[in-house]
Homo-oligomer: A and B are copies of this chain.
Amino acid sequence: MHVTEKLPHDPDAAFLETYDPAEFDRPSVAVDVVVVTVDAGALHALLVRRREAPQRGRWALPGGFVRIEESLDRAAGRVLRDKAGLRGLYLEQLYTFGAPARDPRTRVISVTYLALIDDTRLHQVADARAGDVVLARLRVPWPGQAGGPVLAYVADTKLPTAFDHAAIIGMAVKRLRGKLDYAPISAELLPERFTLRDLQDIHEAIRGHEVNKDSFRRRLLATGWLLPTGEREADVAYRPAELYRLAPPTTKETNDG
């Protein structure tokens, strides 16, 4: 077969013939972050109102362009700080969306991230920027490990979402459902101390159906992800449950670019 291209990142003649950066456009690279929380038993995501064309008035994920000298993870963290005033969240790369026409103006490739936060904290920043940002309730029209776009609601009104962001949110939900049993991510959606019931509510909101209480308790306690604090919840009209916190990670996860 005739090889018309060369190795990646290889500035030889055959490459320049096709890809001379002075002659050919490069795509823009953005990061978009799906900030997810669970509130009142339902998945929610943070959306920002677009004030300029195109897609003016539609609701978009917080995002921004990647600076030439910053890593993707740092870009996502910066967007989170600057657009939502949030820092220190659980953050992981989700998927990269690059359909040529996903942005009507120019080629924008978006590296998307998933961020998790508890609803109290997210409500604070959302309220502080009311009008600009909203916590949209997510309606996930597919079960299990399937995928697809997700609908965003405020009260019973469906929000118009910008670009392919409904599909990006769908990918976030799919990732959440897929990782729930294999990584201690659900606790990232709760404050530092929480009960097993809190955690079960998170799981049920993400899965979209109820789970068995007994085996849920057994399974999670057996993972070693949780540490009992010896404290109990207060001011409840029933026997107070023990408060747990997330155990420190066991030096496993790495990976970035």
- Within the assembled complex, what's the spacing in Å between the Cα atoms of A107 and B51? 31
Q: Would A9 and B163 count as touching, CB distance under 8 A?
A: yes
Contact of A195 with B by CB under 8 A:
no
Q: Which residue of B is nearest A170, CB measured? A: B255
Instruction: Count residues on chain A whose CB falls below 8 Å from chain B CBs.
Output: 78
Please tell me if A5 contacts chain B, counting CB pairs below 8 Å. yes
> Which among B60, B61, B163, B167 is the interface contact of A255 at CB below 8 angstroms?
B167
* This chain: copies in complex: 2
Q: Is B63 within 8 A of A8, CB to CB?
A: yes
| Residues of B close to A96: CB separation below 8 A | 72, 93, 96, 111, 257
A146 within 8 Å of B (CB atoms):
yes
Q: Is the CB of B98 within 8 A of A95?
A: no
Q: Which residue of chain B lies nearest to A167 when distances are taken between CB atoms in the complex?
A: B255
* A28, A146, A167: residue with the most chain B Cβ atoms closer than 10 Å: A28
A139 to B61, CA, bound (A): 40
Residues of chain B contacted by A52 (CB below 8 angstroms): 6-7, 10-12
User: A18 vs B68: C-alpha distance in the bound complex, in angstroms?
Assistant: 11
**Chain A positions 60-87 with a Cβ under 8 Å from a chain B Cβ:** 60-66, 68-72, 79, 81-83, 85
